[in-house]
Amino acid sequence: MAAEIISGRDLAQELRQQMKQKVTELNNQGVFPKLSVILVGDNPASKSYVNGKKKACKETGILSDVIEMNHDTTEANLLQQIEKLNEDPTVHGILVQLPLPEQIREQKVIDTISYTKDVDGFHPINIGRMMTGEDAFLPCTPYGIITMLKSKDISIAGKHAVVVGRSNIVGKPVGQLLLNENATVTYCHSKTKNLAQITKQADILIAAVGKVNAIRAEHIKDGAVVVDVGINRLEDGSLTGDVDFNEAKEKASFITPVPRGVGPMTITMLLENTIKAAKGLENS
Ligand SMILES: Nc1nc(=O)c2c([nH]1)NC[C@@H]1CN(c3ccc(C(=O)N[C@@H](CCC(=O)O)C(=O)O)cc3)C=[N+]21
């Protein structure tokens, strides 16, 4: 079977077009959705991601503000900056770009962001609400993945979804969202024995490993839907995922590419969450 490629870029473009309209409507009511991004240090990858977010906001008519802080800024300093944004009524969404320098405790930072402005969906209240199925900001990458599957009318209920990876930002929450959609979910990780034996049972396979070619033909059932969440930078500067694309596309029914797959959808869901924040978490 030759897989259909799900273009995250095309879907992102379509959704951003619709969002423009929503932003205009809010503007007409005197609401100007705004995202504040805090960037600590000068990691080039982080800078480039933050630029991508800024550009996407601009395209959609969302206001954005990037606050750059020195690499050796203290945790107290950063928390103070977050408190300021929590109290600023013109700021609807707050995103602190991860990873952070080692003197700063990431969890402490996430806990400090008001859950009503937590457009990353990383705050414990939003995670808890996601688990119980209440209204919440959903984490952008998992939310983007579900949106991609739905855009192709891929049914999730009753399907066996296998998630490879268990990070707090991708693996764990994407499994939860798939469960909320009534999939049967299995998590695999670095301690999993016989990885291929398990992934071969997947109707929907989510690769969020962080390793080039971690998923190859031998891991994939014929006709499976393969979602590649990896973003690995090769020495020549090019980006590649966790899936051996050339092998996988011969077995899968649908596959997401890297680049132009999950990445652009992550940013799109961030925009969606910022609009939701501008409406107010409880009224959207
Ligand atoms: N608080 C926080 N929230 C995040 O959402 C967050 C973060 N920290 N830290 C880093 C990761 C990574 N991430 C990406 C988003 C979009 C692309 C993306 O658009 N990628 C393009 C290619 C971009 C390129 O060429 O560099 C693509 O896949 O086509 C990639 C990576 C968000 N992250």
- What is the predicted ipTM? 0.97
Is residue 236 in a domain?
Answer: yes
- In this structure, the strands spanning 204-207 and 160-164 are parallel
Closest residue by CA, ligand 1 atom 17: 263
Q: How far is the CA of 128 from the centre of ligand 1 (A)?
A: 24
> 46 CA distance to ligand 1 centroid (A)?
8
Residues with CB under 6 A from ligand 1: 48-49, 52, 95-98, 120, 140, 231, 239, 258-260, 263-264, 266-267
Verify whether residue 200 is a known catalytic residue. no
Any domain includes 59: yes
Overall domain count for the chain: 2
pLDDT digits (tens, 9 = 90+) for 24-80: 999 999 999 999 999 999 999 999 999 999 999 999 999 999 999 999 999 999 999
Nearest atom, ligand 1, residue 264 CA: 19
Do both 144 and 231 map to the same domain? yes
Q: Whose C-alpha lies nearest to ligand 1, atom 14?
A: 263
Distance 263 CA to ligand 1 centre (A): 6
In degrees, rounded to 5, the angle at the alpha carbon of residue 225 between the alpha carbons of residues 119 and 99 is 35
What mean pLDDT do residues 261-279 have?
98
- Say if CB 20 and CB 13 are below 8 A apart: no
Considering the domain boundaries, does residue 65 fall inside one?
A: yes
In whole angstroms, how far apart are CA 246 and each of 120, 257, 275?
Answer: 32, 10, 37
Q: How far is CA 114 from the centre of its chain?
A: 19
Q: Is 24 within a domain?
A: no
Query: Which pairs from 16-25 meet CB under 8 Å and 24+ separation?
Result: 16/56, 16/59, 16/60, 16/268, 16/271, 19/60, 19/268, 19/271, 19/272, 19/275, 20/59, 20/60, 20/61, 22/275, 23/60, 23/61, 23/62, 23/275, 24/61
Identify whether residues 76 and 170 lie together within a single domain. no
Q: Which domain holds residue 257?
A: 140-262
Give the residue-averaged pLDDT of 196-216.
98
Asked if residue 26 is part of any domain, the answer here is no
Residue 130 lies in a domain: no
146 and 252 belong to one structural domain = yes
Return d(Cα 177, Cα 273) in angstroms, integer: 16
Residues 163 and 258 in one domain: yes
Q: Which residue is catalytic, options 22, 34, 81, 97?
A: 97
Q: Judge if 148 and 113 occupy the same domain.
A: no
Check if the beta carbon of residue 267 is closer than 8 Å to that of residue 8: no
Which of 121, 82, 89, 87 is CA-nearest to residue 104? 82
* pLDDT over threshold 90, residue 283: no
Residues marked as binding for NADP(+)?
165-167, 231
Task: Identify whether 51 is part of a domain.
Answer: yes
Tell how far the Cα of 194 is from the centroid of ligand 1, in angstroms: 30
179, 245: one domain: yes
* Catalytic annotation, pick one of 22, 117, 118, 120: 120
CATH number, domain at 153?
3.40.50.720
Distance 142 CA to ligand 1 centre (A): 13
Task: Using pLDDT thresholds of 50, 70 and 90, give the confidence band for residue 281.
Answer: confident
- Pull the structure tokens for residue 71: 């690499």
Helical ranges in the chain per DSSP H? 8-28, 44-60, 75-87, 106-112, 124-132, 140-151, 171-180, 195-199, 245-248, 262-279
Based on the fold, state whether residues 49 and 159 are members of the same structural domain. no
244 belongs to the catalytic site: no
> Atom 15 (ligand 1): residue with closest C-alpha?
263
Contact 13, 268 (CB under 8 A): no
Q: Which residues are annotated as a binding site?
A: 165-167, 231
* Cis-peptide into 99, omega within 30 deg: yes
Q: 53, 159, 249, 251: which one is catalytic?
A: 53
209 confidence band (pLDDT: 50, 70, 90)? very high
Which of 42, 163, 259, 179 lies closest to 267, judged by CA? 259
Q: Is residue 215 part of a domain?
A: yes
- What pLDDT was estimated at residue 148? 98
Is residue 78 located within the same domain as residue 150? no
User: Which residue among 141, 258, 266, 267 is best mutated to probe the pocket of ligand 1, counting the most ligand atoms within 8 A of its Cβ?
Assistant: 266
- Say whether both 151 and 193 belong to one domain: yes
User: Largest alpha-carbon pair distance within the chain?
Assistant: 56
Tell me if residue 21 is catalytic.
no
Over residues 129-147, the mean pLDDT reads 97
Q: Check whether 165 has a pLDDT greater than 80.
A: yes
Mean pLDDT of the chain: 97
Give yes or no for residue 282 having a pLDDT over 90. no
Instruction: Tell me, yes or no, whether 249 and 153 share the same domain.
Output: yes
pLDDT at 69: 98
Contact between residue 98 and residue 110 where contact means Cβ atoms under 8 Å apart: no
- Total length of the chain: 284
- CATH classification of the domain holding 37: 3.40.50.10860
pLDDT per residue over 5-27, tens digit each? 999 999 999 999 999 999 999 99
Query: 91 with 188, same domain?
Result: no
The candidate with the shortest Cα–Cα distance to 220, out of 131, 277, 160, 177, is 160
* pLDDT above 80 for 115: yes
